Structure 1
Amino acid sequence: MLAIIAAIVFGFALLIDLLNNNFGAPDLFNWNTLVLIGLLLIALHLGGVGSGVRGGGWRRGRR
């Protein structure tokens, strides 16, 4: 899930870069900030945050 959100953030950052627009908030929505947010979301995804499987996952062995 976090990887999908990161892809959306990267797409939004690409649109900002291509359109040369800052949407009236140059310090909040600049290209570098969105890239850092996207990299943070990918790092969290690769670290296992938000993976959805908790505990031991599937049960194995005897019951």
Structure 2
Amino acid sequence: MLAIVAAVLFFISFLINAADLTTNDVFSSGNVMLLGLLALALHVAGIGSGWSARRR
């Protein structure tokens, strides 16, 4: 799930950069890309990957 969020954030970052949009400092292309990297790192770490079955 977090990988999908990361992909969406990367796409938004690409659109901001490609369209050369002027945004405030919070929603700049670099900051959105860093949020995408954070979501991707959490996905790779196993957080947000879904429910896991308990073993008995």
What TM-score results when the alignment is normalised by the length of structure 1? 0.78
**Greater relative contact order (Cα < 8 A, sep 6+):** 2
Taking the aligned partners of 1:19 and 1:27, their CA distance within structure 2 comes to: 16
Taking the aligned partners of 1:21 and 1:2, their CA distance within structure 2 comes to: 26
Letter in 1 for 2:5: I
Report matched runs for 1:1-63 at 5 Å. 1-22=1-22, 25-54=23-52, 57=53, 59=55
1:59 deviates by 4.8
Unaligned runs of 5+ in 2: none
Q: CA RMSD in A?
A: 1.6
What TM-score results when the alignment is normalised by the length of structure 2? 0.86
Relative to its length, the structure with more helix (as a share) is 2
Higher CA-based Rg = 1
Structure 1 residue runs of 4 or more that deviate by more than 3 Å after TM superposition: none
